[in-house]
Amino acid sequence: MTQSTKEAYVISLYINNLLLIGGRKFDLRLYVLVSTYRPLRYYMHKLGFFCFCTVKYTPSTSELDNMFVHLTNVAIQKHGEDYNQIHGGTGAREEVTSKLFNEIHWIFMQSLKAVAPMMNNDKHCFECYSYDIIINDKLKPWLIEVNASPSLTSTLPTTKSLSIT
């Protein structure tokens, strides 16, 4: 007897034509609260922040193993020699265009619709997620990851005002 199993896959694409700020790669961290999946109702927190790499970006294949060039995650960047203990690698979010944020909302909606059938829809509960979005030089947003139960605190003075506490 054979047992059929579902296999999980991760499909990834390295975005070469990144939007850079000061020559550095960054991603945008946004928070989303889902009040119900059926019907889908979510709210984006108005404040978010950028996570920057501490080393200037280069597409050179000789730097592919350099985490400080390619990975914007603060847990990695804080170990780099160029990390700033006051503001880390973060910056306050600025409005870019309404088109960009419409596309980001489309990413939220599609990712939440994809998991809705598996989610418990208790009307007395809610879910909070953090979304990491990278943006290319054509202002197209790309989903990097979604974090369930994200940390809502900050250890940096510049992001403490953005914390949801």
Residue 83 lies in a domain: yes
Residue 165 lies in a domain: no
Residue 9 lies in a domain: no
Q: What are 108-121's pLDDT values in tens digits?
A: 999 999 988 888 77
Residue 94 lies in a domain: yes
Q: What are 42-75's pLDDT values in tens digits?
A: 999 878 888 888 888 777 666 666 666 556 666 6
CATH of the domain at 91: 3.30.470
Give the predicted TM-score (pTM) of the model.
Answer: 0.66
Domain count, the chain: 1
Contacts of 29 (CB under 8 A, 6+ apart): 48, 49, 50, 51, 130, 131, 132, 133
Residue for token pair 């790499």: 53
Residue 3 lies in a domain: no
Q: What are 97-108's pLDDT values in tens digits?
A: 678 888 999 999
Residue 148 structural domain: 26-160
Q: What are 6-28's pLDDT values in tens digits?
A: 777 777 777 878 888 888 889 99
Residue 15 lies in a domain: no
